[in-house]
Amino acid sequence: ELPSSRPLRLEHGNIGSQLIDWPLEHVVKCLVFYHPDDPAALRAEQDALLLEVWQACNKSGHELLLEVILPENGPDKDERHYHTMLEHFYQLGIKPDWWKLPPLSSASWQQITALIEREDPWSRGIL
């Protein structure tokens, strides 16, 4: 991704055409600034690109590490949004191999762990 891009933008354009030259042991890392209360058009645009990245990784055989961060300038930084966002991505069919999340409370970790175990028992984990 382009650093700090919101909406999400990819550094080299089409992800599929880039991954064919990557060694399979390289992991694709994608950071997205996302909030469940973002305007619908912004969420839809980001969702479409995240789905494209996930599908390209599936097709190429590369693992995907998806880092999800609430926007820096957003007024609502409630950590419960992370569960909502991950659940939303799973509903879209996005199942990254790895999740990268900021430090959260024990209660939030328990909820997110249960969600991941239910939606994607093959997940490699959370960083």
Domain ranges of the chain: 15-126
Tokens of 110: 């328990």
Pairing relationship of beta strands 64-69 and 98-100 according to DSSP bridges: parallel
Q: 28-78, pLDDT tens digit by residue? A: 999 999 999 999 999 999 999 999 999 999 999 999 999 999 998 877 889
Q: 68-121, pLDDT tens digit by residue? A: 999 988 778 899 999 999 999 999 999 999 999 999 999 999 999 999 999 999
Q: What does the pLDDT read at residue 51?
A: 97
Indicate if the pLDDT at residue 13 is higher than 80.
no
Phi, psi of 113 (to 5 degrees): -60, -45
Tokens of 112: 């997110």
| pTM score, whole prediction | 0.92
Q: What does the pLDDT read at residue 8?
A: 87
